[in-house]
Each structure stands twice: as C-alpha cells, then as structure tokens.
Amino acid sequence: MTLAEATAPACTICRSGLYADELGHYACRPCTERIDGHLRALAGPDGLYAQLGGRLAPGSGSSGPAVSGSRSAPLPVRLEPLSLLARGGVVTILQTWLVDWHDLLGWGHPRWNGGMQQQLDQVVRALRVNLPWAAASHAAIDEFAREVGQLRRQCEQQVTGERPPLKVPVACPCGQILRITLDTAGARCVGCGEQYGHSELMDLPLAERRIAA
C-alpha cells in the first residue's frame, strides 16, 4: 500500500476509496445499502426474525429431526433460535444501537411499544431512517455493520439450517493469522494493527498449517 493510498479517504467498513460526494463519511454508499438490506431482511411478518418462531421445536430445523443417544427427554425448545428471539437477542442489540444514536444526536430515549415483533419492526424502521446520518457521522458504523450482518447470518442459519461459512486462515506479513470468510468486508490485524479491506484480505496468502511435533 502506497502512502497516498494509506492516507486517502476510505470507507471504514470495506476500506474502498470514497467518491467526491462521500468525502467526510465513515461508510460508502454500497456498504450503507448493504446494512439497509440486512435490516430489511430481519423485519416484517415474513422477515427472518418472524420465521425464527417456527424453528423453536426440536427437529424443526431444515437439517433434519433431532436424534439423541441418551434416554433423557429432549429440550422442549431449541435454544439457538430462542436466544435470538428473546430479550438480549436481536431486538435488544438493535435497540441498544438506536439508544446510542439518540444519545449522540441529543434526542430523548426511544420508546418501545408492543411485543417483541412490534419492537423489532419499530427499531428497524428508526435505524433505517437514520442510517444516512450514521454513515456520514458515526465513527462506529463499521462495528454496527458487523453486528447487523452477524445477526442476519445467525437468523438465516437457524431458519435454513445452513452451516456457518467456512473460515480460511490467511497470513499477515507480520506473521499474524487472520481467519476470514469470502464475505468478510474487512479486518484489522491484532499483531501489527494493519487494516485490510475485502480485496486486500483476498490477496493475502493462505497460512501454512503448523504440523505438531
């Protein structure tokens, strides 16, 4: 990376250069649209959050019926989708972000009405309305993007039964190993602090497997 490339304005999420009308923003337009897509996928009567309710019964995942090798009775519900549905899960995480945004904007605490699905739809609507502001002004938009993307993937895995994407180890020039997937937007090396965008991560060499003595 050249000095000019290192100092040029870039999206904090994907590390791509910013267009003239995006200068001063923390997130580029494609990354902002990607976040909006994740939020839309979660909300609504047919959204991923609503579909989690149909995956609570043991064996309700698309990976097939639950099989137990013990004689003990199975749990009455599947814990993974329940943890996403309950307080502390998807809704609470998104509400925490909205509270943070309200604090930064000097607004009063947002109010939540109705059940969990109604609260989910309310917070998603508010986050989407204020997303352009966050992309332009919130220094932690990259963290928000990462958490929203993770929530969507976790819900999709419970709804469809798909396994998490395979993580591949790649080597930073400093020797640190980073574990990434094909969808990783960016990552920072904990060894040297270098920030990598998606294309830069894809260019890193695969880490050699260490053979135990």
Res 209: pLDDT: 59
Q: 39 is written with which tokens?
A: 């939020």
| Residue 7 confidence (pLDDT) | 54
| Predicted local confidence at residue 69, as pLDDT | 45
Residue-wise pLDDT for 35-69, tens only, equals 999 999 999 999 999 998 766 655 555 444 444 44
pTM score, whole prediction = 0.69
What does the pLDDT read at residue 193? Answer: 84
Low-confidence ranges of the chain (pLDDT < 70): 1-8, 54-78, 162-165, 209-213
CA atoms within 13 A on the CB side of 87: 2
Six-digit token pair at 167?
């993580």
Q: What residue ranges do the domains of the chain occupy? A: 3-62+76-164, 165-213
Sign of CA dihedral 163, 165, 168, 174: negative
Angle (CA) 16 20 21, round 5°:
105
